[in-house]
Amino acid sequence: MSQSEAPIIQFDNVNKWYASNGYHVLRDVNLSFAKGEKVVICGPSGSGKSTLIRCINALEEYQQGKLTVDGTVIGDDLKGIDKVRREVGMVFQQFNLFPHLTVLENLILSPTWVAKLPRNVAIEKAMVQLERVRIAEHANKYPLQLSGGQQQRVAIARALCLTPKIMLFDEPTSALDPEMIKEVLDVMIGLADQGMTMLCVTHEMGFAKAVADRVIFMDQGQVVEQNTPTEFFNHPQTDRSKDFLSKILGH
Amino acid sequence: MQQTYQPIDARPMPGLSTGVLAWLKTNLFSSPGNSIKTLVVLAIVLWALYGAMGWTLTNAVFGASLEACNSLRGIGACWGVVTEKGRLIVMGRYPDTEHWRPVIATALMLGVVGISCMPRFWNKALPLIWVVMLVVYFTLMKGGVLGLTEVPTDQWGGLPLTVMLTVVSMTMAFPLSVFVALGRRSNMPAIKTLCTLYVELIRGVPLITVLFMASFMLPLFMPEGVQIDVLIRVVVGITLFSAAYMAEVVRGGLQALPKGQTEAAATLGLSYWQTQRKIVLPQALSMVVPSLMNTFIGMFKDTSLVTIVSLYELTGALALALNADADWRPFKLEAYFFITLIYFVFCFAMSRYSLWVEKRTAVSKVR
């Protein structure tokens, strides 16, 4: 991790409350992420980890503190948010593919409509991404005709079509059959090897051990512990982390 | 213990599985009890049909003969009323010699509507075709130019009027309803309140009131001498009325769409209107096709209420034709059967179209 480069994502004392019930979901979060870093965020459900990464591309708003993504402060400035969203790709737990469009149409939608690329250029770039996730032969199928693992790989390819600087993964394998988890994780490992900045909320500890530079453990809205994977899994510093690890690594 | 895996090849289902005989067996004759019930019901149906056939066809009078009709009253249907008054019912008070004009105009309008229903014709030329069609339609119907005698709008009537009111109102109401539905879900308080008020006010009153207000009260608010044609007032009334109901239908579809779709569109950098146009509306609208077609079919028949403002569309023309004529008045039932058949043909066509649209949009949903 280069000390001289500014962090690509910076959380400064960020706090968020849910408007509906006033629940304090992010508490004094102070984190920074460097370019090219691969970070796994883990924790029990309701710990705010999904909310944390959804703040990065302004899918969620925060009330206090300052969040800077690639030089842009995330706030009320809509143009800034648009700029950030073009540089940050996101993969969801529920895939969120557009079911009424074919796989190829899903991928070329943003390049043709947002980046205003000509259609044939966009198709070429889309096919490159489909090859990258090893799903090029299904380009003309509809998402619902594919298996869960295939759909998630298409979702990853769709996010990659915008050549983002940062990729956010919100529990990408949690909705998949166990047999399909491996194919998606392999794609993510491939991405990691190519130098992409990745923030991944996941329960897949094997993946964390394989590629993560850092593991962040969150509980009840705050960062409890962050460390390298080896250190975190073998020598957890806090009781809360020890408790969590005993539960998830037990079975 | 060693176990070996021997894959079992798929085998066809035993017995009859497809075809008419199989359907009859499973649905009508699946057990002795059901078979007896089927035969009993069949017997009742045949007996009822036989009786109905007698009145409808065997003993019926087809010529326009009053004596024959009166002598067979109660025994046979008098279809002579259709022969005699049919043209008046279908065309309304439009001058007899000019009947070719509504026929051509309506055929043109239905033709353009027909091609608009097929997605392969959805291109940039379509709005232009609509504009041209509307200009031709109204020129032909109104007349006054190109050597055509002028026919004032309050003389338009019958089926052409029903078709025109439905087509023009629905075409304007549908985009309005989409905007109102999106407006109700908007974050901007002014737009949201405006759209909500519009929907709740209109839904609070019957169509007859809306037509009444549009027709009689609107001129009171107009400055002196400004006269808005009665047809325009009626079309505006029907449009505003249907748009309020369709807006709620569309809003239901918008609500049913998973939030993840708009979130994914946002992460891809699509703007609000791009998201609505490419992601939200195609999915939401295809979900509510049955409900929307339901509204269209309902409105087609609700146009009969324009009688209140002295416009005689199909139902009104029937009342006009028979109330004045004491001779044929006893045979109103047969005349109503006639217009029922006409309404049914149109409404059934719309139903079939709805099913066709649903089938088409289901292509992407087939696993």
pLDDT at B61: 79
Q: What is the DSSP letter of B362?
A: G
pLDDT at B107: 94
A chain contacts of residue B256, beta-carbon cutoff 8 Å: none
What's the mean pLDDT when you consider all of chain A?
91
Q: How far is CA B257 from CA B104, B196, B269, B329, in A?
A: 43, 20, 19, 54
Q: How far is A86 from chain B (nearest CA, A)?
A: 6
Question: Which one of A85, A144, A162 has the shortest CB-CB distance to B266?
Answer: A85
DSSP A21-66: T--EEEEEEEEEE-TT-EEEEE-STTSSHHHHHHHHTTSS--SEEE
A chain contacts of residue B367, beta-carbon cutoff 8 Å: 144-145
Interface predicted TM-score of the whole assembly (ipTM), two decimals: 0.90
> Is B257 near chain A, with CB under 8 Å?
no
Question: Which one of A98, A114, A145 has the shortest CB-CB distance to B269?
Answer: A114
Q: How far is A216 from chain B (nearest CA, A)?
A: 24
Tokens (6 digits) for A24: 């304090």
CA dihedral B20, B23, B27, B33 (to 10 degrees): 70
What CA–CA distance (Å, rounded) separates B79 from B63?
7
pLDDT in tens, chain B (367 residues): 788 889 999 988 776 667 777 788 777 788 888 889 989 999 999 999 988 888 888 777 787 778 888 888 777 888 888 888 888 889 988 888 888 899 999 999 999 999 998 888 888 889 999 999 999 999 999 888 888 888 888 889 899 999 999 999 999 999 999 999 999 999 899 999 999 999 999 999 999 998 888 888 777 877 777 777 888 889 999 999 999 999 999 999 999 999 999 999 999 999 999 999 999 999 999 889 899 999 999 999 999 999 888 889 999 999 888 888 888 888 888 889 999 999 999 999 999 999 998 888 776 666 5
**Taking CA A42 as the corner, what is the angle to CA A36 and CA A47, rounded to the nearest 5 degrees?**
125
pLDDT at A1: 47
Residue of B nearest to A57 (CA): B267
Are A180 and A148 a contacting pair, CB within 8 Å?
Answer: yes
What is the side-by-side order of every strand in the sheet holding A166-170? A88-91, A166-170, A197-201, A38-42, A214-219, A222-227
A222 forms beta bridges with A219
Q: How far is B169 from chain A (nearest CA, A)?
A: 29
pLDDT at B124: 87
A chain contacts of residue B258, beta-carbon cutoff 8 Å: 94, 96
Query: Exposure string (b/e) for B269-288, b if CB count within 10 Å is 16 or more?
Result: bbeeebbbebbbbbbbbbbb
A chain contacts of residue B265, beta-carbon cutoff 8 Å: 98
A227 forms beta bridges with A215
Are B357 and B288 a contacting pair, CB within 8 Å?
Answer: no
Encode pLDDT of B30-43 as tens digits: 888 888 998 999 99
Residue of B nearest to A167 (CA): B267
pLDDT at A193: 87
Q: Find the radius of gyration of the CA atoms of chain A.
A: 18
Q: How far is B285 from chain A (nearest CA, A)?
A: 12
B chain contacts of residue A59, beta-carbon cutoff 8 Å: 263, 266-267
Sign of CA dihedral B185, B362, A134, A211: positive
pTM for the complete prediction? Answer: 0.85
Query: Residue B322 in 3-state DSSP?
Result: helix
What is the CATH number that goes with domain B80-94+151-366?
A: 1.10.3720.10
What CA–CA distance (Å, rounded) separates B220 from B203?
23
Hey, are the CB atoms on A59 and B263 less than 8 Å from each other?
yes
Alpha carbon B109 to chain centroid, angstroms? 14
Tokens (6 digits) for A50: 């999904």
Spell out the domain ranges in chain B. Answer: 80-94+151-366, 97-150
> Judging by DSSP bridges, how do beta strands A88-91 and A166-170 pair with one another?
parallel
Hey, are the CB atoms on B268 and A82 less than 8 Å from each other?
no
Q: How far is A144 from chain B (nearest CA, A)?
A: 6
Of B187, B188, B267, which to mutate for an interface test with A (greatest number of A Cβ within 10 Å)? B267
Q: Could you count the other beta carbons within 10 Å of the beta carbon of residue B78?
A: 26
Q: Find the radius of gyration of the CA atoms of chain B.
A: 27
Hey, are the CB atoms on A99 and B270 less than 8 Å from each other?
no
